[in-house]
Amino acid sequence: MALMPKRVKHRKAQRGRIRGNATRGNRVVFGQFGLQATQGGWISAATIEAGRIAAQQYLRGEGRLYIRVFPHKPITSIPLETRMGKGKGEPEYWAAVVRPGTILYEIGGVNEDMAKICFARLAHKMPVRVQLVKRHAGT
Amino acid sequence: MSTRARFAAGVLPYLRGECLPRVTGAVFLDNLLDSYGVGKVGEAMTKAEVLNAEIRDTRGTRAARRMRAAGKVPAVLYGHGQEAVSLALPADRLAAAVRHGHRLLQLQGGVNEQCLIKQLQWDVWGKELLHVDLTRVYADERVKVEVPIELHGEAPGIKSGGVLTQVLATVEVECPAAAVPDKIQININHLEVNQALTVADLDLPENVKALTPADEIVVHCPEAVEAPEETTEGPAEPELIQRQSGEAGEEG
């Protein structure tokens, strides 16, 4: 099932602007390799889930996948063939707000070749440009 | 000797074909690694990388940006109860030293001191160095540093249905400043399913003492857990956190 918050303070949220680069969540910390967004955007809960399935089907129980983003933002929409006005639309789906530099997924326990192929399959699902990064050694 | 000079002295003769007929592949590789200042795995980086340091008078973001554009990295040197000194280091040479696992630096030029890399600040992409903290050390002084752990070998537990999970990526060690290892290896060739290796199992070089608790797990190989069946049931919307009626009354 797609990710979603358990409890929220408000049902709807304003759209907001994605400004600047990620200053947190931009390092590989759990696995050895990470998939880093090089563009900003919204990643829906369904897309995050599709990425997870694509990666886990390739990994087949080998290695471990970590999801580093969570869809906190409710996205609303107005139904088709509806006249404008009459207030804000109803929540349709949940999305994660991603800034350039955010690590989306991480993989541990596999070699680099396998991680590359896995992330290449996963990258096709993503609505933002991504790149593979490795964990920094020491210091 | 600088990295560039070592490269020229160590590699160029091989590339020109002057040395190839007389050396074997292994010797060639060793020489190549030596020329880059890269020791054998787990071996201490005993050589201090020599860097030309300039004392910097400028402060602030804009000056630092101009410095980075000119190929220099702002740095600060402190420790041993002496005054802190602001420095500028050559970016390419410093990045090469960091990439090769050097921790000990020998500064020349503006200051002539031996120092240890205390902290590195990277840009968003983790590619360019923004700032370096250096601390003064004597070669025989014992220092505490974080050293990366590298897994060596192939765990048989993976073939038996286990998932290899590295829990600890770095270990804190105490060792002489001149003998800080670039990485510490752990052999996982005998790691079966539901087994774990701890800090006590690390192959520590001589003079190096682990400060991380010995019973802390470094890597383990638990059985792969099947993902639970997908259920479409569950709330379609999250629960709304309601305000207490008393609070609302007070505000109103």
Residues in chain B within 8 Å Cβ distance of A1 = 230-232, 234
Cα–Cα distance measured from residue A117 to residue B157, given in angstroms and rounded to the nearest whole number: 23
Of the pLDDT bands very low, low, confident and very high (cuts 50, 70, 90), residue A136 is: confident
Residues in chain A within 8 Å Cβ distance of B240 = 7-9, 11
Cα–Cα distance measured from residue B147 to residue B168, given in angstroms and rounded to the nearest whole number: 11
Q: What is the mean pLDDT of residues A55-74?
A: 92
pLDDT higher than 70, residue B190: yes
B143-220 has CATH 3.40.50.300 classification: no
Number of helical (H) and strand (E) elements in chain A, helices listed first? 2, 8
pLDDT higher than 60, residue B43: no
Residues in chain B within 8 Å Cβ distance of A64 = 163, 165
Query: Domain boundaries in chain B?
Result: 1-36, 39-137, 143-220
Task: Name the closest residue on chain A to residue B229, using Cα atoms.
Answer: A1
Instruction: Tell how far CA B192 is from the center of its chain.
Output: 28
Instruction: Check CB contact under 8 Å for B224 and A36.
Output: no
Strand positions, DSSP E, B14-141: 49-55, 72-79, 82-90, 104-109, 113-122, 129-136
Distance from CA of A21 to the nearest CA of B (A): 7
The answer to whether A4 faces chain B, any CB pair under 8 Å, is yes
Distance from CA of A34 to the nearest CA of B (A): 12
Question: β-strands A103-108, A33-37: how paired?
Answer: antiparallel
Q: In which residue are the tokens 């052999």 written?
A: B187
Q: In which residue are the tokens 């949940």 written?
A: A94
Give the pair of three-digit tokens for residue B52. Answer: 């030309």
| CATH number listed for the domain at residues B39-137 | 2.40.240.10
Q: Which fold does the domain A33-73+90-134 belong to in CATH?
A: Aldehyde Oxidoreductase; domain 3 (3.90.1170)
Of the pLDDT bands very low, low, confident and very high (cuts 50, 70, 90), residue A138 is: low
Closest CA to B137 of B125, B127, B145: B145
Of the pLDDT bands very low, low, confident and very high (cuts 50, 70, 90), residue B252 is: very low
The answer to whether A2 faces chain B, any CB pair under 8 Å, is no
Cα–Cα distance measured from residue A132 to residue B16, given in angstroms and rounded to the nearest whole number: 36
Predicted complex: ipTM over 0.85:
no
C-alpha torsion sign, points A120, A125, A130, A133 = negative
Residues in chain B within 8 Å Cβ distance of A92 = none
Q: pLDDT value at position B42?
A: 45
Instruction: Check CB contact under 8 Å for B163 and A138.
Output: no
Q: How distant, in Å, are the alpha carbons of B2, B3, B43, B100, B133 from that of B47?
A: 11, 11, 11, 12, 20
Q: Which of A76-85, A108-117, B40-49, B114-123 has the lowest mean pLDDT?
A: B40-49
CB A98: neighbour CB atoms within 10 A?
24
**What's the one-letter identity of residue A138?**
G
Q: How distant, in Å, are the alpha carbons of A25, A41, A52 from that of A74?
A: 21, 14, 21
> How would DSSP label each residue in B157-213?
HHHTTB--EE--SEEEEEEEGGG-BS-EEEE-TT--TT-EEEGGGS-PPTT-EE-S-
Q: pLDDT value at position B244?
A: 66
Cα–Cα distance measured from residue A61 to residue B170, given in angstroms and rounded to the nearest whole number: 25
Instruction: Check CB contact under 8 Å for A137 and B125.
Output: no
A residues 7-66 closer than 8 Å to B (CB): 7-9, 11, 21-23, 26-27, 32, 36, 56, 61-64
Query: Domain boundaries in chain A?
Result: 33-73+90-134
pLDDT higher than 60, residue A18: yes
Q: Which H or E element spans position A45?
A: helix A45-59
